[in-house]
Amino acid sequence: MRGKTWGAVVALHLGLVAVLFALNFVLPVYHQGVLARVMVLAVYAIGYNIAFGYTGLLSLGHAMFFGAGLYGAGLMGLHFGMSALPAWLVGTGAGALLALVVGALALRTAGVSFMIVTLMFAQAVYLTILYFGDITHGDDGFVVPGVSRTLAGIDLSQQHPRYLVGWVLFSAALLFSLWLVRAPFGRVLVAIRENEERARLLGYDTGRRKLGALVISGAISAASGAAYGLLFGYVGASFAGVQYSIFALLWVLLGGAGTVLGPFVGTLFMFYLIDLATGVTDAYMLIAGVVLVGLTLFAPQGIVGEVRRRLWRDLP
């Protein structure tokens, strides 16, 4: 990419980060809460995008990584009274470790088999959460204690700190993602997605690189899950269910798989689509469904993907 174009790309991403920061001070309370949630969940989508969008690993079980972060952090607070930062680190580490173990086994398969295997692993994690109900509070979930929702004496359950922590996490994940796609490692991931056999024939151990991508993806997804639990105060098994794996896929597809901004745009779009449709009718899923079908027909590469195809070929 030419220097000038890259400068414009960096300016665009930093501009989004700056706008999101400024919105903290001008948005009404309701929208501030929605946007904080969108930013944290967009981090989950960014993690998913590294596996699916950039490496071509179509996982149907990413909720297990989100759940590992959520429970890893939440349980540290519930049982050990750990404060927010160490609890978040434990949650993120749990997701990375789970991704390493699952990846070492699931990456022996590819394509549809990989989808099925990841789905099964995620179901196993979900059922494990229910089975150990004495520790995890099973289906009911639990409220994260206040001691774990403070960071350097700041109460994270309050509106502004919650938004700012979500913003910091989102900004870090977005800029990391932007850096990754330009780094040699990121280029090789795209090469694997495009043609794995060819990448192997250039001398790359594609198995190890895919495992690396999955661990990064799992760690970022878990970082999102851990932050979600700590910021919004509730940990429940439904977040580790198959629906949350589908959500990540949906958000990334809508925004644009293999684009840096796509996960955020897709997550934001879905949240506000359902929000607006709910205000119009009880049958809001019908409206959401029609819009999604239309988008799939007319923008099959997702919103940012279409922008890239039509207007800005060098947009990463």
Partner 1 sequence: MLNIEGLSAGYGAAPVLRGVNLRAEAGEITVLMGRNGAGKTTLMKAIMGLVRAEAGRIGLGGADLAQMPAHQVPRQGVGYVPQGRRLFADLSVAQNIEVGVGAGPKDTASRRALRAEVLELFPRLQERMSQRAGTLSGGEQQMLATARALCVRPRLLLLDEPTEGLQPSMIEAIRQVMVAMRDKGLAVLLVEQRIDAVLGLADRVSVIEMGRNAEDFSRADLAVPEHARRLRGHLGV
Q: Which residue, 160 or 310, is less far from partner 1 as judged by CB?
A: 310
Query: What span, in angstroms and rounded, lies between the C-alpha atoms of 270 and 257?
Result: 15
What six digits make up the tokens of 192? 């694997």
Residue 4, C-beta contacts closer than 8 angstroms, at least 6 positions apart: none
- Interface positions, 290-309, toward partner 1 (CB under 8 A): none
Contact between 201 and partner 1 per CB under 8 A? yes
Each residue 232-261 as x (binds partner 1 by CB under 8 A) or -, in order, gives: --------------------------x---
**Within a 10 A sphere around the Cβ of 10, how many other Cβ atoms?**
13
Min separation Cβ 173 and partner 1, Å: 23
3-state SS class at 234: strand
Min separation Cβ 257 and partner 1, Å: 12
Min separation Cβ 198 and partner 1, Å: 5
43, 156, 173, 188: residue in contact with partner 1 (rule CB under 8 A): 188
DSSP state of 314: T
**Within a 10 A sphere around the Cβ of 120, how many other Cβ atoms?**
13
Which range in 25-33, 146-154, 183-191, 259-267 contacts partner 1 by CB under 8 A? Answer: 183-191
Beta strands in the chain (DSSP E): 142-143, 150-151, 154-155, 234-235
Contact between 4 and partner 1 per CB under 8 A? no
Residue pair 167/253 in contact (Cβ under 8 Å)? The answer is no
Q: Which residue, 54 or 66, is less far from partner 1 as judged by CB?
A: 54
Query: What span, in angstroms and rounded, lies between the C-alpha atoms of 1 and 261?
Result: 18
Site residues, partner 1 (CB under 8 A):
1-2, 184, 187-188, 190-191, 194-195, 197-206, 258, 313-314
